[in-house]
């Protein structure tokens, strides 16, 4: 199976995917083409051997796997422009675009194409994404290729398309939520005595370690919390104060608000 990949939309996510694919060795840089209108920002990728272009048609002619990574409001026009160069027997479309459903793409390209939706996050650049994938009209080989591709870039889970908006919130927006949590810890850490760089290191590594505990031991967070909370100790005092201030509630409300934003806007 040919591995040539086009990434249409070399922005935050598109370039992160390219960087991750190169560093994984899954594909040679010369077998990736990445496009955007202003290609000057793609110079670092070009220096690594990736083909860059402002011509989407050229990219589609080059590749068999087309990753769509433009903004949601741009995809319809772009697919319409690409229609003459798209071939359902050759091309497989993989959209990472929020809120664009398989049926939305089919309205432009028809029902013959194999379509995937994939929802990664920006940690894909360092191959630590979680990528939720759903498929339409895909053979076992095509599904395996897409899973192999994203497994190089972190972990994958195949889900039903109806969960794709929820996957966007928990997996993709989740990176930003985690950053805010870490930032708040840094702010607190500075107030209790650390310089910013040391507070950042301690806060980030602590969150990484906590996540690794769950991923390696498959425990529930509350089991791990029980191991940290000494009776009458400082951890439970701080945790309870956070809850009195609405910590869990604010996070849950934020997740649901992000979800409603996708569902209501699209």
Ligand X SMILES: NC(=O)C1=CN([C@@H]2O[C@H](COP(=O)(O)OP(=O)(O)OC[C@H]3O[C@@H](n4cnc5c(N)ncnc54)[C@H](OP(=O)(O)O)[C@@H]3O)[C@@H](O)[C@H]2O)C=CC1
Ligand Y SMILES: O=C(O)[C@@H]1CCC=N1
Binding residues for NADP(+): 8-13, 69-72
Note whether 98 binds ligand Y by CB under 6 A: yes
What x-and-dash track marks residues 124-163 binding ligand Y by CB under 6 A?
Answer: ----------------------------------------
User: Choosing among ligand X, ligand Y, none, which partner's interface includes residue 28 (Cβ < 5 to 8 Å by kind)?
Assistant: none
The torsion angles phi and psi of 50, rounded to 5 degrees, stand at: -75, 145
Q: How far is CA 61 from each of CA 56, 86, 106, 143, rounded to the nearest angstrom?
A: 9, 8, 20, 22
DSSP 109-133: H-SSSEEEEEE--GGGGGT-EEEEE
Nearest CB to ligand X, comparing residues 169 and 199:
169
Cα(115)–Cα(56) distance, integer angstroms: 18
Strands 32-35 and 92-95: unpaired
Asked if residue 86 binds ligand Y (CB under 6 A), the reply is no
Query: Which of 168, 186, 189, 203 contacts ligand Y by CB under 6 A?
Result: 168
Residue nearest to ligand X (CB): 11
The span from the first CA to the last CA of the chain, in angstroms, equals 35
In whole angstroms, how close is the CB of 96 to ligand X at the nearest point? 5
Question: Interaction with ligand X in 207-236: which residues (CB under 6 A)?
Answer: none
Could you tell me which stretch among 94-102, 143-151, 154-162, 183-191 binds ligand X (CB under 6 A)? 94-102
**114 touches ligand Y (CB under 6 A):** no
Least distance between ligand X and beta carbon 191 (Å): 30
Stretch that binds ligand X, among 85-93, 101-109, 118-126, 147-155 (CB under 6 A): 118-126
Burial class, 11, CB count within 10 angstroms (exposed 0-12 / middle 13-18 / buried 19+): middle
68 lies in the site for ligand Y, by CB under 6 A: no
Query: If binding is defined by CB under 6 A, does position 12 make contact with ligand X?
Result: yes
Residues 6 and 60: beta-carbon distance below 8 Å:
yes
Interface pick for ligand Y out of 96, 105, 123, 173 (rule CB under 6 A): 173
Q: CB under 5 to 8 A by kind: which of ligand Y, ligand X, none does 35 bind?
A: ligand X
User: Does the protein bind ligand X through residue 83 (CB under 6 A)?
Assistant: no
Which value, to the nearest 10 degrees, does the dihedral of the CA atoms of residues 124, 52, 70, 118 take?
Answer: -40
Residues that bind ligand Y (CB under 6 A): 98, 168, 172-173
């Amino acid at each position: 199976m040919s591995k040539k990949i086009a990434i249409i939309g070399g922005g935050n996510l598109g370039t992160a995917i390219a960087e991750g694919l190169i560093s994984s060795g899954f594909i040679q840089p010369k077998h990736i083409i990445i496009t955007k209108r202003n290609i000057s920002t793609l110079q670092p990728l070009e220096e690594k051997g990736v083909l860059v272009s402002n011509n989407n048609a050229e990219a589609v002619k080059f590749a068999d796997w087309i990753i769509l990574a433009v903004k949601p409001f741009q995809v319809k026009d772009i697919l319409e422009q690409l229609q003459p160069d798209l071939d359902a027997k050759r091309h497989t479309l993989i959209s990472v675009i929020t809120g664009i459903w398989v049926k939305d793409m089919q309205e432009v390209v028809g029902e013959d194409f194999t379509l995937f939706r994939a929802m990664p996050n920006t940690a894909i650049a360092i191959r630590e994404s979680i990528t939720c994938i759903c498929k339409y009209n895909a053979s076992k080989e095509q599904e395996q290729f897409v899973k192999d591709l994203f497994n190089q870039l972190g972990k994958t889970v195949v889900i039903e398309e109806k969960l794709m908006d929820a996957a966007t919130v928990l997996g993709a927006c989740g990176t930003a939520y985690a950053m805010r949590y870490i930032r708040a810890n840094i702010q607190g850490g500075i107030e209790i005595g650390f310089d910013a760089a040391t507070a950042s290191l301690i806060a980030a590594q602590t969150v990484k370690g906590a996540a690794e505990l769950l991923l390696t031991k498959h425990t529930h967070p509350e089991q791990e919390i029980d191991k940290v909370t000494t009776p009458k100790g400082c951890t439970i005092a701080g945790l309870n104060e956070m809850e009195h201030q609405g910590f869990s509630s604010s996070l849950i409300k934020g997740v649901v608000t992000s979800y409603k934003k996708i569902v209501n806007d699209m």
